[in-house]
Structure 1
């Protein structure tokens, strides 16, 4: 246990502030260890400074962190509208609106965990297989420090190499997959790796505990009468969007928590799970999707689970003319931070 106190002081480099500005820095009174605290718009204008996720400090590695935001800027695996490679950058820009506390849940993540933005994976935009290798190696290093990664995509291909790295430490992993699409295709245009195939590859490699996999929000037209037959055959729980219409998803998430139990869980959230009326800036939109409220209910419903990583993928800024899709993504990522283990709630 620790007691946090607020001190008003000139911001040191750990706070990521502009020299000469002021910010509140919480301190562990029992150890003197400072937490990273986002710049506050009370003291530094949102339009100032270098954009990092939630205006957190940037550092090069995950060393010393409990959780880290990291970008994976690729759309090489995209099958329709490109642009997701610019997703992490735009999410960071829109995240300047975020503040330090969750008013809905009273979570205080920056009084609980040491968090920073550790930049982007150095991807190869010409070679998807090489990019997957780079992602896997980067996440091995992140996870080796004990840090929980919170990922900004990028297209959904990235979930495959991330889960390869996660499963090396936490095999097998439970999965909460929020999406319009099952992403369990085998081969698309002759290729086995792309944003429509990651979870088929994960099952083939034994990365997932199939009895602890739930897919929420699936919908749209398909290539067969039952596009989700393969998922059900593996033991996944499939919750189609039609089952979510006009409902709170809190009761569903109570069932999901029971299904996940005490084992490790990864959350993968494709922004196209939301109806394109709310989140048009994505590559493969499908009508009649989830609402942002339901998206928040799903994430908050993960509180208490043994979360080992999360991602928010498929934000495509070229189709996001107002920035609202990226802003929604930034808020969902903040909600993910707020449900990690050991978060303090007032």
Structure 2
């Protein structure tokens, strides 16, 4: 955590929430604070979609909806923006006409942010962006555990011969050795598939599956416990496709599927993962053109808030542990017999 006190959101008692720049949660821009412990960054890219486009506008829609977020999170008993410096790092601009080039651009820009010591909360964009983000995170942490919240598997091989699409990132990630195959799980999957082979291939890649029906039957506490046991203390990356939510809770997405999670279930499962070692996360596939009354964007903003809170708490805990270690070393330096 930065030595200086973190700079938090704009004071809503002085500036109305609907006024001023729409940074995430009305937080400062990264260039206003210099460095951040958690950087919220947008990736307005949706060239990898297979059905409805529009997720390129998702990041800014989430930022607009996040104006109503407040600085204290009672569900996690934490003030995330006081515990760590969280800042809006703006957008990574990627070529919308060349997927391969865009993937390289996103990977390089994410690596630059991670090299500052920040954890990333990335706002997509379509799910294609998960691959370059995972490459950058694995470069720093080694192969990472993955929890993938989505209606779909996203482990297909190709679409129309293309290897990089929003339906293929996690197959590529396993093939590249950047995921810990002992700690992978989809959460919230449902709906028709192309065939039984989809599930067989997914299992061979190392993924466990918690379907949306499993969440309904088992409940969020049991599911969260199961996921914690699968992840252990490994570095964890969480990827959330907003279509993990039922279309009643998230109509604004490109490939909606009936029978999904409620927003309450998603938030509660994420809160149940607060003890996991979350190194970065993404939230993708918000397509505001199909979003009625900002239902999807509001759910997405709260999802990003919970993930940001988890990372901020862990930054603060690590900083406190470092201070205790330094104090112990200092107190032992002059001990008798040394």
- TM-score when scaled to structure 1? 0.88
Q: Counterpart in 2 of 1:308?
A: 279
1:40 touches 1:99 (CA, 8 Å); kept in 2? no
Q: Deviations over 1:143-165 (max 9, x none)?
A: 11110000000000000000011
Tell me if 1:190 matches 2:149: no
Q: Counterpart in 2 of 1:87?
A: 58
Mapped partners of 1:310, 1:169: distance in 2: 14
Match of 1:113 among 57, 62, 84: 84
Q: Deviations over 1:300-327 (max 9, x none)?
A: 1221111110111000000002111011
Mapped partners of 2:201, 2:34: distance in 1: 40
Cα offset for 1:61?
9.2
Q: Counterpart in 1 of 2:290?
A: 319
Q: Counterpart in 1 of 2:315?
A: 342
Q: Counterpart in 1 of 2:144?
A: 173
Q: Which has the higher strand share?
A: 1
1:157 touches 1:194 (CA, 8 Å); kept in 2? yes
**What SS does structure 2 have at the residue aligned with 1:193?**
coil
Q: Counterpart in 2 of 1:130?
A: 101
Mapped partners of 1:278, 1:321: distance in 2: 10
Cα offset for 1:108?
1.2
Instruction: Say which structure, 1 or 2, has more relative contact order (CA 8 Å, 6+ apart).
Output: 2
**What SS does structure 2 have at the residue aligned with 1:267?**
strand
Q: Counterpart in 2 of 1:17?
A: none
Cα offset for 1:186?
0.4
Q: Deviations over 1:26-64 (max 9, x none)?
A: xx9xx6x22121113222101110110000011249952
- The two structures, once aligned, show a CA RMSD in angstroms of 1.7
1:62 touches 1:68 (CA, 8 Å); kept in 2? no
Aligned length: 315
Unaligned runs of 5+ in 1: 3-27
2:5 touches 2:82 (CA, 8 Å); kept in 1? no
Cα offset for 1:126?
1.3
**What SS does structure 2 have at the residue aligned with 1:149?**
strand
Equivalences for 1:135-284 in 2 at 5 Å?
Answer: 135-225=106-196, 227-284=198-255
1:108 touches 1:343 (CA, 8 Å); kept in 2? no
- TM-score when scaled to structure 2? 0.90
Q: Which has the higher helix share?
A: 2
